[in-house]
């Protein structure tokens, strides 16, 4: 399904999506799952207001989400399959794992586990243990029959959550960020941290910047990474 949809990021999600500093894989996945909640719960908007924050879902041969405000655009891979019901609402699945819909309750459980799990301290067994101890686990299990009565329950709910998390942890997230950053600009070294730049990767060792001559719109950044459109070129100074 090809889609190009815009959603307003409401204040309840702003702290965990727009304002979150992404430094680890868990940060990326929490943003992704929050975006999923917006996609399945909110209706798209037809126009944008410069004073608000927005999410663009672009699904084609390339599937990505773009989060943007006045001074920053960042984008990550969107690894879910998108479907539309008879009423025009959207729902998500990972067909390689199961034909079960990924509901609000499932998204909440995944976000909880990612927030509680300490990647530098815990093991994979601790991650799976967190899933089994999630306090609303029974509610998720019972909810299956109410939102997807036709689904074949190939896996039990605990296994389903484990498979989703392991799938998300293994995928390439494709993170990039485009900043208009006047605070860190130094006039004596203008090319070290240009006002307009693209940051590739998010952790301290692999990250680097590509300077931009001007501020680009989200439409141009989206086109830049779209594998179905002509490539853009870097030009030397």
Residues 138 and 112 reside in one and the same domain:
yes
- For the entire predicted model, the pTM comes to 0.88
- Does residue 69 lie within any of the structural domains? no
Residues 166 and 185 reside in one and the same domain:
no
Q: How confident is the model at residue 195 (pLDDT cuts 50, 70, 90)?
A: very high
Is 46 a residue whose pLDDT tops 50?
yes
Residues 186 and 218 reside in one and the same domain:
yes
Residue span of the structural domain in which 196 resides: 176-224
The domain boundary, picked from 170, 186, 214, lies at: 170
Which of the residue ranges 26-35, 100-109, 194-203 would you say has the lowest mean pLDDT? Answer: 100-109
Mean predicted confidence (pLDDT) in 223-228: 92
Is 90 a residue whose pLDDT tops 60?
yes
Q: How far is CA 170 from the centre of its chain?
A: 15
DSSP letter at 79?
A: -
- Does residue 38 lie within any of the structural domains? no
CB distance 216 to 178 below 8 Å: yes
Residue 102: what are its φ and ψ, rounded to 5°? Answer: -95, 105
The tokens describing 143, both together, are 């909810």
pLDDT for the residue numbered 143:
55
Residues 192 and 156 reside in one and the same domain:
no
pLDDT for the residue numbered 117:
80
The domain boundary, picked from 148, 170, 192, lies at: 170
Residue from 128, 120, 106 nearest 33 by CA? 106
- Does residue 162 lie within any of the structural domains? yes
> Between the CA of residue 8 and those of 2, 79, 83, 202, what are the distances in Å?
20, 21, 20, 24
- Does residue 143 lie within any of the structural domains? yes
Residues 186 and 166 reside in one and the same domain:
no
Helices H / strands E in the chain, number of each: 7, 9
Residues 138 and 160 reside in one and the same domain:
yes
Can you say whether the dihedral through the CA atoms of 53, 33, 103, 78 is positive or negative?
Answer: positive
Residues 189 and 165 reside in one and the same domain:
no
The count of domains in the chain is 2
pLDDT for the residue numbered 99:
83
3-class DSSP assignment, residue 137: helix
């Amino acid at each position: 399904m090809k889609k190009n949809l815009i959603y307003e990021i409401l204040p309840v999600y702003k702290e965990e999506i727009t304002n979150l500093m992404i430094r680890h894989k868990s940060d990326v996945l929490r943003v992704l799952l929050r975006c999923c909640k917006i996609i399945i719960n909110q209706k798209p908007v037809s126009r944008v207001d410069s004073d608000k924050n927005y999410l663009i879902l672009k699904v084609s041969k390339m599937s990505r989400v773009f989060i943007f405000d006045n001074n920053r655009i960042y984008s990550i891979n969107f690894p879910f399959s998108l479907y539309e019901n008879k009423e025009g609402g959207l729902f998500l699945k990972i067909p390689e794992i199961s034909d079960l819909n990924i509901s609000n309750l499932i998204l909440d459980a995944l976000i909880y586990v990612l927030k509680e799990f300490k990647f530098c301290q815990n093991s994979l067994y601790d991650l799976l243990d967190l899933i089994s101890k999630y306090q609303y686990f029974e509610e998720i299990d019972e909810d299956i029959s109410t939102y997807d009565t036709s689904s074949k329950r190939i896996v039990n709910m605990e296994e389903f959550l484990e498979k989703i998390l392991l799938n998300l942890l293994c995928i390439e997230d494709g993170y990039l960020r485009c900043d208009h950053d006047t605070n860190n600009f130094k006039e004596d070294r203008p090319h070290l941290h240009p006002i307009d730049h693209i940051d590739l990767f998010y952790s301290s060792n692999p990250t680097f910047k590509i300077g931009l001559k001007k501020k680009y719109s989200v439409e141009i950044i989206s086109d830049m990474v779209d594998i179905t459109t002509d490539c853009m070129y870097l030009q030397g100074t």
